[in-house]
Amino acid sequence: MIDIIRSEWTKIRSVRSTVWTLAITALLMVGLGALLSGSAASSAEGPIDPVSATRISLNGIMLASMATATLGVLVISSEYRTGGIRTTLMAVPRRLKLLAGKIIVFTAVALAVSMAASLASFLIGQAILDGAALGDPGTVRAVTGTGLYLTACGLFGLALGALIRHTPGAIVSAVALILVLPPLTNGLPGRWGQVVRDHFTSNAGMELPFPSDANQLGPWSGFGVYLAWIAVVLVVAAVLMRRRDA
For the bound state, the minimum distance from the C-beta of residue 245 to other proteins, rounded and expressed in Å, comes to: 4
For the bound state, the minimum distance from the C-beta of residue 106 to other proteins, rounded and expressed in Å, comes to: 15
For residue 73, the one-letter residue type is V
Q: H-helix or E-strand containing 187? A: none
20 φ, ψ (degrees, to nearest 5): -60, -50
In the bound state with other proteins, the residue whose beta carbon lies nearer, of 16 and 191, is 16
For the bound state, the minimum distance from the C-beta of residue 77 to other proteins, rounded and expressed in Å, comes to: 11
Binding to other proteins, residues 43-82 (CB under 8 A): 78-79, 82
Binding to other proteins, residues 2-21 (CB under 8 A): 3-4, 6-8, 10-11, 14-17
- What are the distances in angstroms from CA 244 to CA 25, 63, 76, 98? 33, 33, 15, 15
In the bound state with other proteins, the residue whose beta carbon lies nearer, of 79 and 198, is 79
Binding to other proteins, residues 83-142 (CB under 8 A): 83-84, 86-94
In the bound state with other proteins, the residue whose beta carbon lies nearer, of 79 and 207, is 79
For the bound state, the minimum distance from the C-beta of residue 89 to other proteins, rounded and expressed in Å, comes to: 6
Q: Which residues contact 7 (CB under 8 A, 6 or more apart)?
A: 91, 92, 101
User: How far apart are the C-alpha atoms of 100 and 97, rounded to whole Å?
Assistant: 5
Binding to other proteins, residues 157-176 (CB under 8 A): none
Instruction: Label residue 180 exposed, middle or buried (CB < 10 Å: 0-12, 13-18, 19+).
Output: exposed
Residue in 15, 52, 59 with CA at minimum distance from that of residue 33: 59
For the bound state, the minimum distance from the C-beta of residue 240 to other proteins, rounded and expressed in Å, comes to: 13
What residue ranges bind other proteins (CB under 8 A)?
Answer: 3-4, 6-8, 10-11, 14-17, 78-79, 82-84, 86-94, 243, 245-246
